[in-house]
A and B are shown apart, each in its own frame.
Chain A
Amino acid sequence: MVGEVSGPAYLRGLLLLALVAGGLAGLAGAQPSGALSAPGPEPAPQVTGPIAADRFRSESDYAEVALPVRLRIPELRVQSELERLGLQSDGAVAVPKDPHVAGWYEHGPRPGQPGPAVILGHVDSKAGPGIFASLAGAPVGTQVRVDRADGSTVTFRITRISRVPKDEFPTDLVYAPTLDATLRLVTCGGGFDRSRGSYRDNVIAYAEPV
């Protein structure tokens, strides 16, 4: 353990290092750059031979994560192509045209890319259940697979499901620009407002990569 040493804290730290290191200072092995012993600045060393750094090039071929094309949630018997969704004229997120097809919000990250990817699906329509009819009841741990255009698949695990009034939708938490490669699944839930023909709440499943 460390004994009591007086003086500024960082100097105490240095002294501690010196206690162990000092006696071993002369036992060095030889590795990359030239071993030095004289104190103080010196002129630049004479470098000989081909300069490795002359070959250096920064990478310029950025390969983006492929577009998502299909959603699979085996536990909920969900399988769907993915429609690409943008914004409506009032700034709200667009929703899939077909209640049996899920959609990916294309102005956000692609699934598996840093940041929260968002996939939306209808809970129902006037004709019957939609693609996300059973999302609200999905157990924590449910696996969600997203197939991508390059043939790859990224798998997520649902960690939490919440239901929130639409007028208190947590935009920050669902769409926010962080660099965590997460997935959010969004549908409707809660009470149905018959006068407006829509649900009062949204159900949000938060998922992390497996």
Chain B
Amino acid sequence: MRKPGEGWRRHSIPILCAGLLAALPIGSAGAAPPAPATPGHGHDHAVVAAGRLAPSDAADHAVRLQALLGQHSVLAADVMRSRIRGDDDFVQAAEAALGKNTDAMTDLMDRLFGEDMVGTFRPMWAEHVVELVAYASALAARDNTAREHAREELIEYEGELSEFLAGLSRGRLATADAHHALSMHVEHLTRQADAYAKGDYLTADRVNREGYQHLYDLGLVLAETLLPAGDRSALRQPVWRLRSQLGKLLAEHVVLVEDVTRAAVTNTPDFDAAARMINANTRDLTAAMDSLFGTAAARQFQQLWGEHVEQLVAYSAATAKKDEAGRSKARAALAEYEKDVAEFLSGATGERMTRPKLFEAFAGHDEMLLKHADAYASRDYATAHDIAYQTYEHGFDLARQLADAFGETVAARLPRGGAQTGYGGLVTGGR
């Protein structure tokens, strides 16, 4: 008999970044952001008969692939928007980050799906990035001919890559479905660029958010259709679903905080749209907490989390005004929040995550976001992107640890056994 919570424990794998969290700075201004932790780093994993990886490794990599695809969407939008603004320094830094993301993604795909797959996939992927940049450049130049040409190239890419992926899946992924998914990705990026160029930042950010979520989810579709059956089954286990879903929300939180603080430190007209997006993400995180821990806990979480976002924005606003007192005040408020959120989450998880560990993690998270805002304010875009990249990785890895702790906590209080919902013996059979 399967006991409540057994699945969580059985699928529990070592927490890969426990050491990373232990090494995080506690509100230390001089500390460097942690190095990202990559599951199964290197090629020393065990290859099993059914697939290239042990099923738990495959599921772990699949969830990470989702994160990298989501990040691609964000970075591609960054590159396109900076092209439209004519912000050449930012373009350069964003392109470097996008290249790093492509490398990480194709390396992971190599482990998941094999060298042959990546050999064909990578140039196709690179080509679509080139055409997206060409599209944004044409928008900036108001060159409709070049824009249409880029669009035609993108349509061609959608067709080629969807046929390739469908063929690789051996019938599990229909060409039409792959095409629909890829054309939506391109549509999200071109639509957000169109809206951004018109100054319609709310539409641009809303579409961008959809684009992130869409591409993140596409990672699971790829894993479910391209991995061998033995590897795919792990992806349907609740433990992986929760890791994937919380990872999506927390990694998106990082991205949206960076958006809103960039707009805050430069006091640009896209601030209000960015503010609405981060509030929407907080709402989604609160809804997740409600599902896991109930409404009262969710409301408490919302107050804490909301304070955290407000202080990050307040720090950025003070930076824009060169208000040192305001910056210090925001830092002090964040330090209080970090203690409070650590206490709240350690209580909610029955100490499955300890207060010191949580404090270190959230202090590290905030510190990286403050450094990112500082770097962006001083136009050091290369540093800003490096920190943004690391913060995204950190947020995603933290989400994994939280998901495991949340899952185990909830699993421990689930009903035991089946339900006694029949006493008459009048019915027999059923499926």
Q: Is B233 close to A, CB under 8 A?
A: no
- Quick one: CB contact mask for B96-118 with A, threshold 8 Å, 1 for yes? 10111011001000000000000
Query: What residues of chain A lie closer than 8 Å to B264, measured between beta carbons?
Result: 51-53, 56
Query: What residues of chain A lie closer than 8 Å to B328, measured between beta carbons?
Result: none
Among A17, A51, A187: residue with most chain B CB under 10 A? A17
Minimum CB–CB distance for B288 against chain A, Å: 5
Q: Is A87 close to B, CB under 8 A?
A: yes
A-side interface mostly = loop
Q: Is A31 close to B, CB under 8 A?
A: yes
Q: Is A198 close to B, CB under 8 A?
A: yes
A91 near B140: Cβ-Cβ < 8 Å: no
Contact residues, A1-52 vs B (CB, 8 A): 1-2, 8-14, 16-17, 19-21, 24-45, 47-49, 51-52
Q: Which residue of B lies closest to A115 (CB)?
A: B291
Given A169-B417, A175-B414, A29-B86 contact (CB < 8 Å): yes
Q: Is A74 close to B, CB under 8 A?
A: no
Contact residues, B1-54 vs A (CB, 8 A): 1-4, 6-8
B-side interface mostly = helix
How far apart sit A59 and B143, CA to CA, in the bound complex (Å)?
A: 41
Given A44-B265, A125-B424, A172-B411, A59-B310 contact (CB < 8 Å): no
Could you say which of A76-84, A147-155, A159-167 contacts chain B?
Answer: A159-167
The listed residue (A38, A122, A178) touching B242 by CB distance below 8 A is A178
How far apart sit A203 and B429, CA to CA, in the bound complex (Å)?
A: 10
Q: Is B302 close to A, CB under 8 A?
A: yes
A168 near B91: Cβ-Cβ < 8 Å: no
Query: What residues of chain A lie closer than 8 Å to B282, measured between beta carbons?
Result: 58-59
Chain B interface size range: 35 or more
Given A95-B419, A161-B431, A175-B414, A35-B379 contact (CB < 8 Å): no
Partner-A contacts on B (CB < 8 A):
1-4, 6-8, 79, 81, 83-91, 95-96, 98-100, 102-103, 106, 122-123, 126-127, 129-131, 133-134, 137-143, 196-197, 199, 201, 237-238, 241-242, 245-246, 260, 263-272, 275, 279, 282-283, 286-288, 290-292, 295, 298-299, 302-303, 305-307, 309-310, 313-314, 316-317, 319-322, 375, 377-380, 383, 406-407, 410-411, 413-431
Partner-B contacts on A (CB < 8 A):
1-2, 8-14, 16-17, 19-21, 24-45, 47-49, 51-54, 56-60, 62, 64-65, 87, 90-93, 95-96, 99, 105, 107, 109, 113-115, 120-130, 132-133, 136-137, 161-173, 175-180, 186-192, 194, 197-199, 201-203
**Could you list 8 A-B pairs, sorted by A, with CB under 8 Å?**
A24-B83, A32-B266, A44-B377, A62-B290, A64-B298, A125-B422, A167-B1, A199-B427
